[in-house]
Structure formats: structure tokens, C-alpha cells
Amino acid sequence: MTSQPSEISLQGPHRVRSITFQGTSTVRGWILKVYSISAHTASARQELITAALQAAASVLPSPQTDNRYGVGFVIAHDAADYCFALVDWWQGENEIHQHMFSAPLESPGELRQHQTRAIGCVWELAVTDFERRAWLTHVLANPQGPDIKAYLNAAYEGTV
């Protein structure tokens, strides 16, 4: 039997962060919903958002196929200690595929592939969870059939 940890040491209390929807952007024929999160201000820096979209252009698969729909989402996160960009797309009907990038806070334009197995933090996963539910509602479980336009119009904003 495995024992449970007796305590978890936190760096400090949880600090709420705003998540804002920045609209959609077309990158190499893909339509991406763009989200911003920041530990410092109301929104991630524009330099990071731009770098996140450039990172997306470098990893989105081509060509689009019947199994790869050309839609996804990007999260630009000005975190407390680093800049992060998550590039996610829908493929295989019900799968999210992802690449994660990171850069030092002082150099948000220098995003590189992130070298850990992380899939996101509690703030980023709020967006991923919303996107999962939106895909289920508007594409997979829609009685009228898949509605990509409705999916793209569904966006998350809030605090976590």
C-alpha cells in the first residue's frame, strides 16, 4: 500500500488570474482561438501573444485532412516565473494534440519547445477544460451534427 503525502509545501497562497479571450486568428490555414493569461497584469503581453502564434505556425501539422479539422486554440501565459505558450488542435474526432513552448519572462519572443512532460497548470487547464466541453457540445454531441462555427464562437473568460 502506498502512503499519502502528509503535507504539501506551497510557495505562497493561490493568486487568482484573469483569462481573456483575444479572438480568433488564422495561422497557415488553421483557425485558432487565442487566450491570454497573466500573473502580472490583466492580459499577457502582446509580444508573447504574437510569439505564441508564431510558435503555432511552426508546429501545426499540414495538410489538413478529414481527420485533422484545421481548428484549435492557443494559450499565451505570462506566468509568475516564465512565459508559456500552448498550441492545441483537434484531431481524430475527439483528441486534443498539443505542443508547449516556454521562454524567460524577460524574453517572451524567444519561445522554445518546453522540455518537460507538463500538459498545463491550473490556469491553462481551465481553458482546456472549457474547450473540451465546447467541442463535446458543438461538435461531438450536437443533435444537428458538428457545428464548427458554434464551436469557434464559444469562448471562455473568467478568473481562476
pLDDT tens digit string along 64-94?
889 999 999 999 999 999 999 999 999 999 9
Q: Which of 95, 23, 94, 27 shows the shortest CA–CA distance to 59?
A: 27
Domain range summary for the chain, segments of one domain joined by +: 18-159
Q: Which of 79, 75, 73, 127 shows the shortest CA–CA distance to 103?
A: 79
The pTM (predicted TM-score) of the whole model is 0.94
